[in-house]
Structure formats: structure tokens, C-alpha cells
Structure 1
């Protein structure tokens, strides 16, 4: 296959994802999920000004998009292109349209229809208490992986790109001011957004001019990475305790707009520079340590195609802020499209951001070579060629994008971890206060991160299991959705077929991984992987039984027939 122009990939990928939003998500909203604008959402039903807050759909989209994106839609594609650009491109585009959007939209809808309950709690409602308990084990481990690993990723970027320090931390001040302007002073949303985004880009310029590097010898005997990680965990703990409108919503909204503009800059540079994709379509000369493309492609690229973590966010925080049920399509499906566009941008940056295939192969000399640094390097080359942005400033812009994505996920994950800990306590008959649950969440992540010493290498200990755990959770969430739809007598194949595909590939990958871990003698990861696979398999069997029972049992009445006056939202 001749080397394609990256602009062709961009146009095809963007067109497919937008078609998915305007066509396929419309089908899902009308025929499968049957959104009802009159349904009183949990944000109104349980409004408390802290977690349950009715929110403008655009602000909520910003929170949801940046929370689910994180660094994974950059890392996964940047690693997976080692197999060639074509497999990564197909999985990201088709996965976004038929799996990620449907999954994120569906888990948001399911939670809203069940009083804002998480997917863990819903597993108890739809497949039974045994399934719920094991489902929570998988969720617990996944969020722990995200907290520890993302803290390490952010700290590494802050050390490698000191120009990103000022915009990363300065964004918090901007967010608080934006929150006050929108919610306390009721200023015009468009004007506040414009000022907030301009302030963020001003901070990027300031950070590039005045980079901040911590002393190499360390402070208090700690490395620069360790200091940043400690500050990040302190921040995430405090942020997760604040009412969502104070910091979480405005920070994520402004970041979301800024990051979408960042994607526009990347694609604009591609339009003007039209760089050639130098990476092979299918790489027939992969490095010796590269695993088989099947099934590993489908767990290496998780976020950006389909991700179980998205279901935790949809049902954990976003469902508690949804103003109207009809907003779920925009927040859930289009949030997945935003992440798909980021993953596509990462594919282009890491395959067309180099001059020759020889240069590309020099970078991708091992399976572990890809990641955020390659995205920053390749993307900066494209920004420089297309828009004339100086290499250093371009690298700062892209590094700040990656950090802000990861940071928004970090504090949202801390809040979600608190919810899960409280759910586990509720099952055990113990009421765990919010502050105590938050402290437990942060301490566990902190302990894992520094479990192997002050270099914080422990933060990546469980990361090899992230892909399989994340995709198992996505597949299991889809089975819960399938049970819910079967009970309602609605079309369920758009949910069940992707569930079967994801679960097959993921269990296959988990078994391959188990063999590798056994042969390597990595007994810690082997044991944890066994626990995850057994728990997921048990939940799957419970779900199959529940699906068969739902198929044979009576169907629930349609919503318009069953909504009481208390369940209806007053007219806008």
C-alpha cells in the first residue's frame, strides 16, 4: 500500500465519527434508549449542590470529555501504531462509532434511569448481588490503576516539559474564577468561556517563557517526580471533596474547550502541512519484543475505541449532573467522539510526524518505545511544519494538553474511588463518611505509587493489567445494558454484539497475558490477573443467566406509560 497523506486519514476519520454522532446516535436515542425530555433526572431529584447539580449540557460535556479522555487515548494509539497505522486507524474509527459512543451514552442513560447509581450498583439490580460484589472488585482495581499510573505520567511530563508547570497549576486558579463567574455572578457563558480559554493560552505562553524545574538533587530527600506526585494526590483529594461547581465542572469545561481548540490546531497543521504517513500500513518487521496484534491491539487501544472507565465516569459523576435526559446523547456519545478525535490525532502525530520510515523505525525500536513523548515529538514537528509554531512552544502546547487531560481524570477518579469505597462499605453495613472515604482512596493510591521506593516506580506496577481490566469492565457494562434493554423489550443487539466482541478479545488477551506472566515469574501480577479474570468470568455468567431470565420474563411498560407526576420534570 502506498504511503497515504495524513490529511486523507484525518478527513475519513473525522467524517466517520461525525456521521456516527449525527446518524447512529440518533438511532440509539430514538429506538434503543428512547430518551424522554420529561423524565426527572437525578440531578433534579436529589439536588444537593455538591454531587447532584443540574448542569448546562455544554459545561457537563466539558467535564465528561476531559474526565474520560486522560492520557490513555494518546498512550494507547502511540504504542499500537508499532503494528502499523491501518489496524490502529480502523479500531479507533469503528470502535468510536459503534462501541465507545454507544457504551458511554448507554451507561449514562442507565444510571440516570436508576437514580444516578453507578454501574457497580446497577450490576446488583440487574444481575444479582454476587455479580455486583465481584463487579465492584474489578472497578476498585481499575480506578486504583488509573490513580497511581496517571500521577506518574503527569509527574514525568512536568519534569520532562518544565514549560507546562505554570499552565498546569495556573489552570486551577482560572477554573475557580470561571466557576464563580458562571454560578455565583451569573455572567454570560460565552464571554466567560472566551476569557477563561484566553487565560489558559496566556499561561501556556508564560510557562514556555518561564519553565519551572525542581532541583535535581531533590527537596527533603525526594526526587522531582516524587514531589509532583505528592502535590497531585493532595490536589486530587481536596478537589474531589469540593462541590462540583466550584472546581471540577468549570476546570473541566474550560479545559475541554481549550483541548478541543488544541485538536483544531493539530488538524489545522495537518491540513496545511499535509505530511505523509511514513509508518507502514501493516508493519511486517516489528521489533522482537512485540506481541501478536490479535488480540493485543484491542486492549492496547482502550480509550479511543471503547473503555470501561468511561462507564464509571458516566454513571459516577456525569449522571448526577445531567440536566435533561435528552442531553445524554450529546454528553455521552459526543464525548466519545471527542476522545476518538484525540486518538486519531495521536495516530497521525506518531506516524506522520517523522521525515522517513527509517527515522520512525529508529523511534519504534521496541514495543515499549511509544507513548506520550513520541506524540509530543511527532506532533510538534507537524505544528512547526504546518503553522510555523516554534518547536519548543509546540511541544509545550502538546505536553500541556496531555497533562490537563490526565489531571482532569485524576481528580474525577479520586471522587469515583470515594463513591466505590462508600458502596463497598454500604454492602458491608458500614457507613463510611465522605472525608474518610476520600482519605482511604488517596492513601491507597499513594501507597501503591511508592510501594517500590521513592522513585514512584510502584505507580506503574499494575499498569500492564490496565488494558484487559478496562476492556473487561466495558464488556461487562454492556451486558448489564443488554439485560436492561431486554427487560424493556427494546432492540438489544446494538449493545450485545459489541459486548460479545469486546469480551472475546479481552478474555483472549487476558489468557495470553496470564501465560506470559507465569513464564516470567511475575507472581504479583499473575495473582491479580487471575483474580480479575475469575471475577469477570463469574460476573459474565451471572449476566448470561440474567439475560435469559429477562428474555423469558414479562417486559416492563414503556416510559411514557409508566412515568408518574413525581418522575416528570417541569417544563423548561
Structure 2
């Protein structure tokens, strides 16, 4: 199999999804219309609600939803062979993720930029919406805890990334001032920001940053976890235009550049895919069988409930025109699918460039390939070296930096989104102090930090165990989001149109629920009571939400008949 065939097939499918399918759904089902005034105008406060250029907003949304997940998930999943991962990423992006993200953004815009949990509460029922928000909060908790530890471990292992990774924050702060305060040209500001970011890369290589071996009994890993959560807390209460938005935007631009470099090198080199097409019987340690675990291993890059949280949390408050929903929502999913596709190719073809073994079979492939984001950096570096001559170490650093910056932007957005939910709970349950920005932020940072720091032990950290649970919960959340949107469409007399969300809903709910039950059994046998309890809670809430939503749909259909 040629990697070029995989690349072109995926890109063609993404293009058809954007030009044909998304246009149909946006025009005929969602009926996007610029005559409708968006919440960014009606509720403008220049803190959370602010009309934003769709290209800048796409950059923010894309990098906020992407994170490390579309790299980590596919890099693990190709151990079942390249074919299942490829099909799920491509078809999932076009028919699942794109529709989920665009419709979740649309639903929030139609409800004053409220979170998808609040939207569920309004259209399905108060008690159901409150349960839905519990699932959302747990997903955010797992994302923030896992990514906080992942970034900390990367910071310890790759000290050469510290200067460019943290320098990106300073660049974003300056960029926000240049765009919003001084009204400078967006293209000029973008070019300068990206050039400065890449200038910091060789400086970081020359000046690696190490933390002290022991500070108050804390090793460097724990020190980084504390630093990251303090930063995330501060970043979450700053106006979105000051840091979050420009930081995500410039990261989005540098990712596009990185993908262009990778895709261009694939066109030049066309490395052969040495991995087997399918290995259905493989057992990957704790990961398990192909079906249903594949569909919770690759979440971001195919469909992800976390996207609905971001779309209805920060992005919906910044939509300038209603038609921007399609551009930001669907193209955000396509961008992430493109990253997942690139990850698959780097792992199944790029790794082969580093090996002298040209006759890989399932047994030798699993020996060579251990899975995980390290293969993304190594394989990507090898392809770019062969394609454009970029030194191998420089290529690995570039792709490693891409991973770290994306994980950090997701964590930034995750803490802010937790703060929104806590504030909504404060309003819902009449607890005034929870509605305050600083208090809600401290609560969000505190619970995420406790879960993260509790997971760090002598033998590693709990994010490895959290990942499959996050994947299952994340996909369940995606199905509940689609269910909420289906109720909205049916209530608006769009029963036929609701099929565009009902079909992916049924499939992903079945796979995710099945996967969550398998993981619950594993957590029980391992006596991991924290993750077992979270898993069971998610399963119970899912059943209650689905039954309530089906009851609402049944009543609505009877009223309309």
C-alpha cells in the first residue's frame, strides 16, 4: 500500500464532506441565516462574548478541540492495523465529527451561547440537563488531569521545548494587543507571530530548561503540574481576546504549516506502508479487542464529545455571523481529521523509514511499533527529513512541540469550560459565590489538580488508565449531544433532517456504552475504585438521559401527529 494513496483518499473525502455534505446540512437542516443576530452581539461583554473574525475563531476552536488526542489515539489504534484507523478517521470526520461539531455550535448559538448541558436542560428537561452537565464536568475533569500530567512529563523529558512552548504565551499576549487594541493587519501580525515562534525553537534547543530536582519534597514532574495548573487558572479568567484566542490561533497556523510540510513530504517521498492492513486479534495490554475499543481509542479525529463542550462553551460566544457556524464547526473537525490522518501515515509509513526491516508482518510490526505520540514525532521527522532535508532531530523537535502546544491549549480551554459549568451550577442552585469568576476558577483548578497529582506515583501516572475511560465517556457525551440536537430538530418539525444526527448517534452510543462496560469490569477487577465509580456514574447517567430524551421525542411526535 502506498502512503500517497491513503493521503489523497482521505483528502478527497474531507473535501467532499466540506463542499457537499456540510453545505447540505447547513442549508437544509440547520438553515443557517445571517439575518439572525448571534449572542456575541446581543450579549457582548468583551470578556467571553465578543464577535470574532471567523479565521481567528477557527484557529481558536480547532486548537482548543484538537489537543494531543488526535495524535495519541490514532498512534495507539494503528496497532490493530492501518485500515480500521484510516476508515474510522475519514468516515468519522465527514459523517460524525463534522456534523456533531457544527450542530452543537448551532444549538448553543440558538440558546444565547449556553453550554450544551444547559441546552439539554431547556429542550429535554431540567433534571436531565443537570445529569448531562455532570457527564460534561467529568469529561473536563479527566481531560484537564490527564493533559496536565502529560504536558508535565513532556516538559521533564524534553527540556528543549520549554522556551518555545512558554514563549508562545508571550507571543499570544502581544498578538492579542496588536489585533484588538492597535487594530493591526491580521496577516502581518500572523506572519510575525509564527516567525517568532519558530525562532524560539533553536533557542530552546541551545538552552534547555530544567527544574530543581527537589523543591519542598516535590520532584520536577510535580513542580510542572503545579506550574501548569496555576497558569491555566490565570489564563481562564483573562478575556478570551487577550490570551486564549490569539494563542489558539497562532497554534492553529503553525499546525497548518506543520501539516503542509508533512503532507508535502509525503507527496515527494511516498513512503510505503509497511504495517499490516488489519490485525483483528491483537491484544494491546489493557486496550483489548478491536471492536468496540477502536471507537473509544480514536475519539478526537473521528468524533468527540469534548468538541461539543468547546463549541457550546467558548466558541459559540464568539460567532460573528450565523453562517460562520459551518466554517468554524465543520472545518474545525476536518482540521482535526487531517491531523489524525497525518498521524496514521507517520506511524505506519514514517516509522518504516527508520527500520531496516522491509518485510514486516503482524508479529514483527507489533514488536517494532510500541504505540503512542513518540512514533508521531519520530515518523514525522523521518518523512520530513527524506522529503525536504530538514535535519532529523529538528523534525522530531518540531512535531514534539506541536504535540505539547496542542495539549496546552486544550487544557487552557478545559479549565475555562469547567468554570462556566460551575458558574451555571451556582446560578441553577442559587449559590451566589459560585457565580464569581475567581471562586469558580479556583474550584475548577482545585479538583483537576487533585485528580492529576493523585494519579502520579512511583510507577508512572494515572493518565494511562484515565485515557480509555476518557475515550468512552467522551464518546457517550458526543452521543448525548447528538441526542439533544435530534430533540431540537424534531421539535422544530425537522424529523427527516434529524436523521443526519440520529444515524451517527445510534452507532457511537452503542460502541461507547459497550466500551465503558468493558472498562468498568477491568477497573473493578483492578480495584481502581475511583475510575470504577466514575465509569458506573457515567453509565447510569447515560441511561437516564437517553430514556428521558426518548420520552420527550415520543411526546413531541404524538403532539405533531
* TM-score normalised per structure 2: 0.95
1:450 to 453, 472, 481: 453
Deviation of the 1:476 alpha carbon: 0.3
- 1:188-231 deviation digits (Å, cap 9, x = unpaired): 1111111111111111232223322334x334432222122111
Deviation of the 1:422 alpha carbon: 1.2
2:60 corresponding residue in structure 1? 63
1:22 corresponding residue in structure 2? 19
- 1:88-115 deviation digits (Å, cap 9, x = unpaired): 0000000000010000000000000011
Answering whether residue 428 of structure 2 is matched by residue 427 of structure 1, we say yes
Q: How does 1:375-414 map to 2 (within 5 A)?
A: 375-414=376-415
Question: For structure 1, which runs of at least 5 residues remain unmatched after alignment?
Answer: 556-572
Deviation of the 1:272 alpha carbon: 1.4
> CA 1:287–1:493 in structure 2 vs 1: closer, same or farther (change >3 Å)?
closer
2:132 corresponding residue in structure 1? 135
2:345 to 340, 343, 348: 348
Deviation of the 1:15 alpha carbon: 1.1
> CA 1:288–1:325 in structure 2 vs 1: closer, same or farther (change >3 Å)?
closer
1:147 corresponding residue in structure 2? 144
1:561 corresponding residue in structure 2? none
Conserved 8 A contact 1:222-1:454: no
3-state SS, counterpart of residue 325 of structure 1:
coil
2:161 corresponding residue in structure 1? 164
1:480 corresponding residue in structure 2? 484
1:53 corresponding residue in structure 2? 50
In the alignment, the residues of structure 1 paired with residue 52 and residue 500 of structure 2 have an alpha-carbon distance, to the nearest angstrom, of: 29
> CA 1:202–1:45 in structure 2 vs 1: closer, same or farther (change >3 Å)?
same
For these two proteins, the number of residue pairs brought into alignment is 550
3-state SS, counterpart of residue 429 of structure 1:
coil
Which range moved further: 385-394 or 217-226?
217-226
3-state SS, counterpart of residue 484 of structure 2:
helix
In the alignment, the residues of structure 2 paired with residue 225 and residue 107 of structure 1 have an alpha-carbon distance, to the nearest angstrom, of: 36
In the alignment, the residues of structure 2 paired with residue 190 and residue 29 of structure 1 have an alpha-carbon distance, to the nearest angstrom, of: 28
Q: How does 1:230-241 map to 2 (within 5 A)?
A: 230-241=226-237
- 1:298-346 deviation digits (Å, cap 9, x = unpaired): 1110000000000000000000000000100000000000000000011
Which range moved further: 490-499 or 309-318?
490-499
- 1:254-275 deviation digits (Å, cap 9, x = unpaired): 1111111111111111111111
In the alignment, the residues of structure 2 paired with residue 33 and residue 51 of structure 1 have an alpha-carbon distance, to the nearest angstrom, of: 25
1:174 corresponding residue in structure 2? 171
1:563 corresponding residue in structure 2? none
- 1:141-180 deviation digits (Å, cap 9, x = unpaired): 1000000100111112222222211110000111111111
2:30 to 28, 33, 36: 33
Conserved 8 A contact 1:266-1:345: yes
Answering whether residue 219 of structure 2 is matched by residue 223 of structure 1, we say yes
3-state SS, counterpart of residue 116 of structure 1:
coil
In the alignment, the residues of structure 2 paired with residue 389 and residue 273 of structure 1 have an alpha-carbon distance, to the nearest angstrom, of: 13
3-state SS, counterpart of residue 325 of structure 2:
helix
> CA 1:28–1:58 in structure 2 vs 1: closer, same or farther (change >3 Å)?
same
Deviation of the 1:466 alpha carbon: 0.3
Two-structure CA RMSD over aligned residues (Å): 1.8
Answering whether residue 556 of structure 2 is matched by residue 550 of structure 1, we say yes
In the alignment, the residues of structure 2 paired with residue 371 and residue 462 of structure 1 have an alpha-carbon distance, to the nearest angstrom, of: 15
Answering whether residue 70 of structure 2 is matched by residue 80 of structure 1, we say no
Which range moved further: 505-514 or 10-19?
505-514
In the alignment, the residues of structure 1 paired with residue 282 and residue 365 of structure 2 have an alpha-carbon distance, to the nearest angstrom, of: 12
Deviation of the 1:361 alpha carbon: 5.8
In the alignment, the residues of structure 2 paired with residue 108 and residue 205 of structure 1 have an alpha-carbon distance, to the nearest angstrom, of: 39
2:262 to 263, 266, 287: 266
In the alignment, the residues of structure 2 paired with residue 375 and residue 54 of structure 1 have an alpha-carbon distance, to the nearest angstrom, of: 36
In the alignment, the residues of structure 2 paired with residue 382 and residue 207 of structure 1 have an alpha-carbon distance, to the nearest angstrom, of: 23
Q: How does 1:521-532 map to 2 (within 5 A)?
A: 521-532=527-538
In the alignment, the residues of structure 1 paired with residue 502 and residue 371 of structure 2 have an alpha-carbon distance, to the nearest angstrom, of: 33
In the alignment, the residues of structure 1 paired with residue 418 and residue 380 of structure 2 have an alpha-carbon distance, to the nearest angstrom, of: 33
Q: How does 1:529-544 map to 2 (within 5 A)?
A: 529-544=535-550
Deviation of the 1:454 alpha carbon: 6.7
> CA 1:378–1:540 in structure 2 vs 1: closer, same or farther (change >3 Å)?
same
Which range moved further: 384-393 or 494-503?
384-393
1:283 corresponding residue in structure 2? 279
- 1:437-464 deviation digits (Å, cap 9, x = unpaired): 0000001111111125576825555333
Answering whether residue 245 of structure 2 is matched by residue 249 of structure 1, we say yes
Question: For structure 2, which runs of at least 5 residues remain unmatched after alignment?
Answer: none
Deviation of the 1:126 alpha carbon: 1.1
Conserved 8 A contact 1:287-1:366: no
Conserved 8 A contact 1:208-1:393: no
In the alignment, the residues of structure 2 paired with residue 162 and residue 362 of structure 1 have an alpha-carbon distance, to the nearest angstrom, of: 33
Which range moved further: 398-407 or 542-551?
542-551
1:440 corresponding residue in structure 2? 443
In the alignment, the residues of structure 2 paired with residue 482 and residue 64 of structure 1 have an alpha-carbon distance, to the nearest angstrom, of: 23
Conserved 8 A contact 2:280-2:290: no
Deviation of the 1:351 alpha carbon: 0.7
3-state SS, counterpart of residue 323 of structure 2:
helix
In the alignment, the residues of structure 1 paired with residue 251 and residue 284 of structure 2 have an alpha-carbon distance, to the nearest angstrom, of: 40
Conserved 8 A contact 1:450-1:458: no
> CA 1:156–1:359 in structure 2 vs 1: closer, same or farther (change >3 Å)?
farther
3-state SS, counterpart of residue 489 of structure 1:
coil
In the alignment, the residues of structure 2 paired with residue 75 and residue 133 of structure 1 have an alpha-carbon distance, to the nearest angstrom, of: 31
Which range moved further: 449-458 or 506-515?
449-458
In the alignment, the residues of structure 2 paired with residue 266 and residue 220 of structure 1 have an alpha-carbon distance, to the nearest angstrom, of: 43
Conserved 8 A contact 2:128-2:544: yes
Answering whether residue 339 of structure 2 is matched by residue 337 of structure 1, we say no
In the alignment, the residues of structure 1 paired with residue 166 and residue 528 of structure 2 have an alpha-carbon distance, to the nearest angstrom, of: 38
1:515 corresponding residue in structure 2? 521
In the alignment, the residues of structure 1 paired with residue 208 and residue 398 of structure 2 have an alpha-carbon distance, to the nearest angstrom, of: 13
